Amino acid sequence: MAQSVIDRTAEKLELFGKVRELAKTKNVVILTHIYQRLEVQRVADYVGDSLMLSKQARETDAEIIAFCGVHFMAETAKLLSPEKKVLLPDIQSGCPMADMINVDDLRAFKKDHPGAPVVCYVNSSAAVKAESDICCTSTNAVDIVKSLNSSEVIFVPDKGLGEWVQYKLPEKKLHIYDGFCPTHWQITSAEVDKQRINYPEAVIIAHPECDPEVWRRADFVGSTSEIYKFVEESAGRKFIILSEQGLVARIQADFPEKDIATVFPLPLCPNMKYHSLENLYDAIDQEYTEIIIPEEILIPAKATIDRMLEISNQKQIWAGPNR
Alpha carbons within 13 angstroms on the beta-carbon side of residue 67 total 35
The verdict on 95 binding ligand SF4 (CB under 6 A) reads yes
- Side chain identity at residue 257, one-letter code: E
Residue 202's contacts (CB-CB under 8 Å, 6 or more residues apart) are: 195, 196, 236, 238, 239, 240, 261
Q: Any contact of residue 269 with ligand SF4 (CB under 6 A)?
A: yes
Q: Are 119 and 129 in contact (CB under 8 A)?
A: no
**Smallest distance, Å, CB 123 to ligand 13P?**
5
Partner interacting with residue 96 (select from ligand SF4, ligand 13P, none; CB below 5-8 Å by kind): ligand SF4
Crossing angle for the helix pair 71-80 and 295-311, nearest 10 degrees?
80
Query: Does 68 sit near ligand SF4 (CB under 6 A)?
Result: no
DSSP, residue by residue, 45-81? SEEE-HHHHHHHHHH---SEEEEES-HHHHHHHHHH-
Rounded Cα distance between 262 and 122, Å, is 26
CB 44 → ligand SF4: shortest distance, Å? Answer: 17
CA dihedral 112, 109, 138, 253 (to 10 degrees): 150
The Cβ-side half-sphere exposure at 96, using a 13 Å CA radius, reads 12
Q: For residues 215-244, which are near ligand 13P according to CB under 6 A?
A: 223-224
CB of 272 to ligand SF4, least distance (A): 6
The CB-of-34 to ligand 13P minimum distance in angstroms stands at 7
d(CA 200, CA 197): 6
CB of 159 to ligand SF4, least distance (A): 12
Find which of ligand 13P, ligand SF4, none residue 141 binds, CB within 5 to 8 Å per kind: none
Measured CA to CA, the distance from residue 203 to residue 218 in angstroms comes to: 8
Using CB under 6 A as the binding rule, whether residue 88 contacts ligand SF4 is answered as: no
> Scanning residues 162 to 201, which ones bind ligand SF4 (CB under 6 A)?
181-184
50 binds, among ligand SF4, ligand 13P, none (CB under 5 to 8 A by kind): ligand 13P
Q: Site mask, ligand 13P, residues 68-97, x = CB under 6 A?
A: ---------------------------x--
Binding residues for ligand SF4 (CB under 6 A): 70, 95-97, 123, 181-184, 209, 244, 269, 271-272
Binding residues for ligand 13P (CB under 6 A): 33, 49-51, 95, 122-123, 137-138, 181, 209, 223-224
